[in-house]
Structure 1
């Protein structure tokens, strides 16, 4: 068993602890922390189960499954927060996920991978396609806010209708992105797929007994059960997390904006972050970049629009009118990430630049008083 798997397995102890904390009415801060720590290994199990099921059902359906469940943990947390009426926290977590994947995940990957290898390479054409998609996402997030700022008293209902229309367009683009990457231009992603399969085999080697890895065939029903159980427990822990968020953030001295942009994305993405960094250290930058940028794209083109539609359906005023400072942060993140990844090469110093940008933005969000 790898070190990463050992850490995630150890964190499973926080599931019963958080449940006990909730029913015994412990401090909201304790419930918040233990629930957050419990979500981390559950997210890892959801990711592992999705990957194992994808192996059984085949590349096409498997790719769709990965694309759908890639950010399931964040989606569940956001849905719970949306249902509780914490719309600003939901919006902050969405922008925080994009920022975290582009700067923190890719930065750590390039930095740690660069310490071991002088220069690493990945496919620049895929980076350029992803860059264009991220630019569209920024435009889609910017325009509803711009309409609100440049119009004289636009009605909330009209802004909601605009957001719903934009959300439908983004989901359609996301569907076309899947068609492009898995069908019409799948050959562009062959390197990343190969690296993913090699990593899966390596993980199997670390779990199975010697000689069993070659015959490793996932049990579909077992992993489906794991996926279902993990999803249920993530939903339960999300209820605990969101229910104590306001009181816990006050005790920690954080604003809801900082919590949404920095803390919640790290909790939901920890397992994915670890995967991207580990494969980068193994000199598989195509896969590492795909994990980081692909997750950002899924948040911007699928999760955010889906939450807008769900909010519209359940009567919560969820729209694409974001905090202007959040939009500035997203635009800055996309700009520097696109600039660094456009040549298809990376080194440790470029990783430092991404991490430094994330730290500066994190400090700005910490001192920003607006929710």
Structure 2
């Protein structure tokens, strides 16, 4: 525990941990001060992300970058899962789908692109195990196919289309979960030798003991989930003050803040020439959301939701997920990276963000499903 306190004492960024209890006090005392709660929750996530980053690197030093990246992605996605379960119980399926799709695109493009850029600014070129990247990108492509088919079925003008869509979505959800489980078996058990990290990583100066690192991961993940709940409750009203549309907030802002902890670990790994850790977190998190979190939400909707949820996403959203997957497959094919690769990937993400930002907010037209329908009509 003394190592943890030393880390907090020596890092000015971690002094922002004082914002964590302030967020909870402010949320109970002034729950209507949405703009203040929004700013405080963002400030609280920053130091928590820093702690999660150091803990993840310590775990990866003991278990390897592949397992470390998977663990970080899993714990990081608990935030998205908690948020989605809350919305699922309330029957807000549009919010659930928007947060899921936004997290997939943000992790695939922003987190991966920024990792390439930050690592490339310090190192001339970087190498990573392309076998792992190829597998994660392939899993993402599988998920994209799973999203395309329900959208095609939903376009049928048939009275039984809704029943068919629900049955198909449930079957696809189970199939995607099985595919994700088999992917884990392949990477962690039967062919784990193919996914060894590239031998170019800098030596970790002072990794924490495994017990401290794991307990920190668990504790910080819980705090991030609690702070994220405050953030989600305040972000919509605060967004109006800052002039952001609901589509932009759901697809971009919520995804960025929800993935802040994972991003801190990915960016730190890239700067230390541990690009396998960064790629594993970015693509591993995206594929886990697409192949596990989203299908599990479909299954759970039959238990805790008011009605069953399907896997039909707006056409524009499906297009964005598909293009993000193709971009990831393209830039990770060589197993090498430089800063310009990160710039190109971030440009794709900024095109999406700019499109969502300039879309007009016209009452009900700001609904993400209607926004997706408008995007889907654009001849991309």
Question: TM-score band (shorter)?
Answer: 0.7 to 0.9
Separation in 2, partners of 1:191, 1:224:
21
> What SS is found at the alignment partner of 1:152?
coil
Mapping of residues 331-342 of structure 1, within 5 Å:
331-342=322-333
1:177 aligned onto 2:167: no
Separation in 2, partners of 1:33, 1:246:
13
TM-score, normalised to structure 2, is: 0.81
Separation in 2, partners of 1:75, 1:47:
20
Separation in 1, partners of 2:358, 2:66:
46
The residue number in structure 1 matching 2:27 is 22
The residue number in structure 2 matching 1:246 is 236
8 Å contact 1:14–1:34 — kept in the other structure?
yes
> How many Å apart are 1:173 and its aligned residue?
1.0
> How many Å apart are 1:58 and its aligned residue?
11
Separation in 2, partners of 1:330, 1:60:
24
1:315 aligned onto 2:305: yes
8 Å contact 1:123–1:286 — kept in the other structure?
yes
> How many Å apart are 1:51 and its aligned residue?
7.0
The residue number in structure 2 matching 1:202 is 205
The residue number in structure 2 matching 1:210 is none
8 Å contact 1:167–1:308 — kept in the other structure?
yes
The equivalent position to 1:263 in structure 2, one of 253, 261, 277, is 253
8 Å contact 1:76–1:234 — kept in the other structure?
no
Separation in 2, partners of 1:61, 1:341:
19
Separation in 1, partners of 2:294, 2:132:
23
The residue number in structure 2 matching 1:132 is 138
User: Structure 2 regions of 5+ residues with no counterpart?
Assistant: 1-5, 360-365, 369-380
1:188 aligned onto 2:194: yes
Separation in 1, partners of 2:215, 2:305:
33
8 Å contact 1:35–1:241 — kept in the other structure?
yes
> How many Å apart are 1:130 and its aligned residue?
2.2
| Larger deviation, residues 339-348 vs 58-67 | 58-67
The residue number in structure 1 matching 2:363 is none
8 Å contact 1:40–1:267 — kept in the other structure?
no
The equivalent position to 1:326 in structure 2, one of 303, 309, 317, is 317
Separation in 2, partners of 1:81, 1:248:
19
Q: Deviations over 1:319-361 (max 9, x none)?
A: 2111211111111111122111111121221111111111111
Over aligned residues, Cα RMSD in angstroms?
3.2
Separation in 1, partners of 2:348, 2:294:
23
8 Å contact 2:248–2:356 — kept in the other structure?
yes
8 Å contact 1:12–1:38 — kept in the other structure?
yes
Change (3 A) 1:20 1:260: same
Change (3 A) 1:265 1:251: same
Change (3 A) 1:239 1:115: closer
> What SS is found at the alignment partner of 1:183?
helix
> How many Å apart are 1:166 and its aligned residue?
1.2
Separation in 2, partners of 1:241, 1:77:
10
The equivalent position to 1:217 in structure 2, one of 188, 209, 221, is 209
> How many Å apart are 1:285 and its aligned residue?
2.1
Mapping of residues 266-285 of structure 1, within 5 Å:
266-285=256-275
| Larger deviation, residues 72-81 vs 45-54 | 45-54
Q: Deviations over 1:203-259 (max 9, x none)?
A: 52xxxxxxxxxxx634x4x66664554454344334323333432333332222211
User: Structure 1 regions of 5+ residues with no counterpart?
Assistant: 205-215
The residue number in structure 1 matching 2:285 is 295
Change (3 A) 1:85 1:243: farther
TM-score, normalised to structure 1, is: 0.83
> How many Å apart are 1:44 and its aligned residue?
5.2
1:344 aligned onto 2:335: yes
Task: Give the length in aligned residue pairs.
Answer: 354
Separation in 2, partners of 1:281, 1:58:
17
| Larger deviation, residues 107-116 vs 323-332 | 107-116
Structure having greater relative contact order (Cα 8 Å, sep ≥ 6): 1
